[in-house]
């Protein structure tokens, strides 16, 4: 596959209009972002992205947006490209922008959207193809926080135990603690600070994960982890805009996790 680079001054064009509802009783139109680095025009230049308007009969597919996209892929256009795996809101693979909000296609009910449904990739990310963003940079940022337990004591023969109150810090009393993050990156790609400074700002997803280890009572590398984040860009580019918390499809609160890290920074000075 060619490098994923949009044409210079690219704009999103109107694409094909496909009625695949076959006269069914519940037609619904999905306006789907399409782009491939391999689609070249007659001059050999990469084509602009386009929005295809595809109408299907909802009686032919399941209730979620992912069901509709997979129906389209299986029955209308097999070249439609998207990530998906568990279809249970657990793997985070099918994160995309649906009807203007970053969310998971597998848990987004088609019935929640009145009228046509617009589906585009997670915003402000390079696109590999169609609805697939390039997440390499985010995974590199995730790796940089060393997301594994660092302990000064020898590994026990069984689990490292934790008190119930310590485990609540990670899991939350309602199951919405930082350990429940599925790394879908809906939050980071909704954050204006990350849009403009994503090369150096870690973004809410990675900072929530950093907090998950900083706050773990079994981890002994708190000082080292805080040192690594003490930087005008990595942590302090968060301006508490709260888009991250508002968009998280798992109901987590990355903005609060970031605020906790900032508090710990202040406390240790």
Q: The tokens of 65 are what? A: 């947006």
Q: At its nearest, how many Å lie between ligand SF4 and the CB of residue 32?
A: 22
Q: At its nearest, how many Å lie between ligand SF4 and the CB of residue 253?
A: 8
Phi, psi of 222 (to 5 degrees): -55, -50
| Residue 186 within binding range of ligand SF4, rule CB under 6 A | yes
**CB neighbours of 253 closer than 8 A, spacing ≥ 6?**
176, 245
| Residue 248 within binding range of ligand SF4, rule CB under 6 A | yes
Work out which of 72, 98, 105, 244 binds ligand SF4, going by CB under 6 A.
Answer: 244
Alpha helix segments (H runs only) across the chain: 65-75, 136-144, 164-171, 192-197, 203-214, 222-229, 243-247, 254-268
**Cα–Cα distance for residue pair 72/66, rounded to 1 Å:** 10
Span near ligand SF4 by CB under 6 A; candidates 13-21, 46-54, 202-210, 225-233? 202-210
Rg (CA), the chain: 21
Beta carbon nearer to ligand SF4, 132 or 208:
208
**Cα–Cα distance for residue pair 23/52, rounded to 1 Å:** 19
Q: At its nearest, how many Å lie between ligand SF4 and the CB of residue 120?
A: 17
Span near ligand SF4 by CB under 6 A; candidates 22-30, 121-129, 186-194, 226-234? 186-194
Binding site for ligand SF4 (CB under 6 A): 181-187, 191, 193-194, 204-205, 208, 238-244, 248, 250, 252, 254-255, 258
């Amino acid at each position: 596959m060619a490098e994923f680079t949009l044409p210079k001054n690219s704009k999103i064009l109107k694409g094909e209009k496909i009625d695949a509802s076959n006269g069914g009783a519940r037609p619904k139109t999905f306006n789907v972002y399409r782009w491939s680095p391999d689609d070249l025009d007659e001059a050999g230049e990469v084509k602009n992205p386009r929005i295809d308007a595809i109408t299907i009969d909802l009686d032919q597919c399941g209730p979620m947006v992912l069901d509709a996209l997979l129906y389209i892929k299986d029955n209308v256009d097999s070249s439609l490209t998207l990530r998906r795996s568990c279809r249970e809101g657990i793997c985070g693979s099918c994160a995309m922008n649906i009807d203007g909000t970053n969310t998971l296609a597998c848990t987004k009910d088609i019935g929640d959207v009145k009228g046509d449904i617009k589906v585009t990739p997670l915003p402000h990310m390079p696109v590999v193809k169609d609805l697939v963003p390039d997440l390499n940079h985010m995974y590199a940022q995730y790796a940089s926080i060393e997301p594994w337990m660092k302990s000064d004591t020898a590994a026990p023969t069984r689990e490292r135990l934790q008190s119930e109150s310590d485990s609540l810090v990670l899991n939350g009393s309602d199951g919405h603690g930082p350990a429940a993050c599925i790394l879908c990156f809906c939050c980071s790609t909704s954050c204006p600070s990350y849009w403009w400074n994503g090369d150096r700002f870690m973004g809410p997803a990675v900072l929530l994960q950093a907090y998950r280890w900083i706050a773990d009572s079994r981890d002994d590398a708190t000082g080292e982890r805080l040192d690594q984040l003490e930087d005008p860009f990595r942590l302090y580019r968060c301006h508490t805009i709260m888009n991250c918390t508002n968009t998280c499809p798992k109901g987590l609160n990355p903005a609060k996790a970031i605020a906790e890290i900032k508090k710990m920074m202040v406390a240790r000075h």
